[in-house]
A and B are shown apart, each in its own frame.
Chain A
Amino acid sequence: MSTTSPAFSPRRVAAMVLRHFYLLRSSWPRLLEIVYWPAVQMTMWGFLQIGIAPQAGVLAQAASTFLAAFLLWDILFRGQLGFSMSFLEEMWSRNMPNLMISPLRPLEFVLQLIVMGTVRMAIGLVPVTFLAILFFGFNFWSLGFALAAFFANLLLTSWAVGMFCSGLVLRNGLGAEGLTWSLMFIFLPLTCVYYPVSTLPAWLQPIAWALPPTSVFEGMRALMLEQTFRADLMVWAFALNVLWIAAASVAFTMLLNSARRAGSLIQVGE
């Protein structure tokens, strides 16, 4: 055996991606679950949009953005959930100590979660975008370059939240698992997914603007309602995301160290 181990190894990241590929391939209920909820939600928002579209005025205008808002929200939510689910699989299978005593570094561990979070999100959302074209005539892909900017910013936020949630579960055990499912929902009202930031009370608006997804949803409405791509909003969201990722990395490291102090890693559970 070699007496050195590289500080970063793509092979170790690939090993973990392979582990999750084997898992997904062996479990059709897991695959179905990934697609099921986005499809149900898309159907609901699609019919709502159809129902409101004949109305005149602002309501009809707002309704025309519902499907895009829902799909962008699901990138955010599914991105975080995919990240967290891949992490939770290790906790549920009591495999975490095996990984923590292996040469797998924390950065590699997080990177494979990012890869798997993105894969899971794509499995859930890509088919749904085609269903949206088929059933509601809404082509999400027609957003083009703007979609790439929205997508990148939402994914970055989802990774930051996923990292923070994973750290909480590492530190506190599966008793904190519920947070990985629910924490993101605080973003639903605050990031103004379905309405403009101006809807919020004045004191809440600065808080909303400090959340990266707010700029994405506002940018989406500008694009769909005014045919304007707001590059300034994307730059602002990206700058915030850099801060969020940095903060989440620090939080994850601190929670991991705290788990080592508390002895939480040796017996994973509640």
Chain B
Amino acid sequence: MNKTADPLPAVQAEQLTKHYGETIAVAGISFSLAQGSVTGLLGGNGAGKTTTIGMMMGLVAPTAGWVKVLGADMEKEPYRVLHRINLESPYVDLPHRLTVRQNLLVFAMLYEVADVAARIARLAADLALTEFIDRPAGKLSAGQKTRVALAKALINEPEILILDEPTASLDPDTADWVRTHLERYRERRGASILLASHNMSEVERLCDRVIMMKLGQIVDDDTPEGLLARYGRSTLEEVFLDVARNRRQPADEPAKEAAS
């Protein structure tokens, strides 16, 4: 497991709960993400992943419990750390009529990036945006849009990067290339990454820890290897299906230190 003795976890949630009327979106989950870790957040539709991410980013107020990012309570003091984190999500878009360069410039200014031109040039080179950097964001292909959204999420070189389906609309070659970029970014920056994905091979490759959610609860929490061993499976996809369909129980209890 990745939980370390670091007194300041990247993310720490305690009895984090969200109700929408009678609907329980997140049911009192607790977890802690170590700095520098890459954690996969898995679960079927309606499992509570997006709501959990929303609470981590300060977009959604918890009904009960709390979540701290780099020590800041995201309900009470989000502006202490918002400049140090970022998010890429399919639920969010960039202004369509602005070019890629204009969008990145605006967000670089919002995040008070010091050398804006150099940062944009580097992102354009790293994510191969140069070819269409002066094209309106709304006229890009799905794959290009995903890369631009990733560039926006990296504009402030975040210490914590939250990615919701970052390679969902990419062809296998580009998706692989993006994963490589994320691995390099993590190594270079020492960043913590939380990855919500339905691509199990991506999770196996990138993540050193997997949190599985179902019906608003954490139902398992382990390393990818640990999950495979305990469920007796050869791929995370099979483990995911076991959890989603209640097909098979793990051999042992999930790691106690992180699961709720």
Contacts and interface: CB of A to CB of B under 8 A. Distances in A.
Interface of A: 1-3, 5-7, 9, 11-12, 14-16, 18-19, 22-23, 26-27, 89-90, 93-95, 97-105, 257, 260-263, 265-267
Name which of A6, A23, A90, A263 has the most chain B CB atoms within 10 A of its CB. Answer: A263
A261 B61 contact: yes
Contacts of A103: 79, 82-83, 110-112
Given A93-B95, A101-B86, A267-B91, A14 B109 contact: yes
B91 A95 contact: no
Nearest to B80: A5
A88 to B, nearest CB: 12
Contacts of B156: 1
23 contacts: A1-B158, A11-B109, A15-B105, A16-B106, A18-B109, A22-B99, A97-B87, A97-B92, A100-B58, A101-B57, A101-B58, A101-B59, A101-B82, A101-B85, A103-B110, A257-B61, A260-B58, A260-B59, A262-B20, A263-B20, A263-B60, A265-B54, A266-B60
A1 B110 contact: no
Nearest to A96: B92
A266 B82 contact: no
Contact of B98 (A14, A23, A98): A23
A167 B216 CA distance: 29
A257 B75 CA distance: 10
Contacts, number: 123
A2 B112 contact: yes
Interface string B62-97: 000000000000010001101111110101111111
Contact of B96 (A5, A6, A93): A93
Nearest to B106: A19
B107 interface: yes
B254 interface: no
Nearest to A15: B109
Interface residues of B, number: 44
B91 A1 contact: no
B157 interface: yes
Contact of A12 (B60, B99, B110, B136): B110
Pick the 4 closest A-B CB pairs, nearest first: A15-B109, A94-B93, A266-B54, A260-B61
B214 interface: no
Contacts of B32: none
A5 B87 contact: no
Given A263-B51, A265-B60, A94 B92 contact: yes
Given A260-B59, A266-B60, 19 more contacts: A1-B158, A6-B112, A15-B110, A16-B106, A22-B99, A23-B98, A26-B97, A26-B98, A89-B95, A90-B95, A95-B92, A97-B91, A99-B110, A101-B82, A102-B82, A102-B111, A103-B110, A263-B60, A266-B51
Contacts of B92: 94-95, 97-98
Nearest to A12: B110
Contacts of B86: 101
Contacts of B57: 101
Contacts of B85: 101
B109 A98 contact: no
B152 A1 contact: no
A89 B96 CA distance: 10
B84 A3 contact: yes
B159 interface: yes
Contacts of B60: 260-261, 263, 265-266
B130 interface: no
B59 A100 contact: yes
Contacts of A97: 59, 87, 89, 91-92
Contact of B93 (A3, A95, A263): A95
A89 B106 CA distance: 15
A16 to B, nearest CB: 7
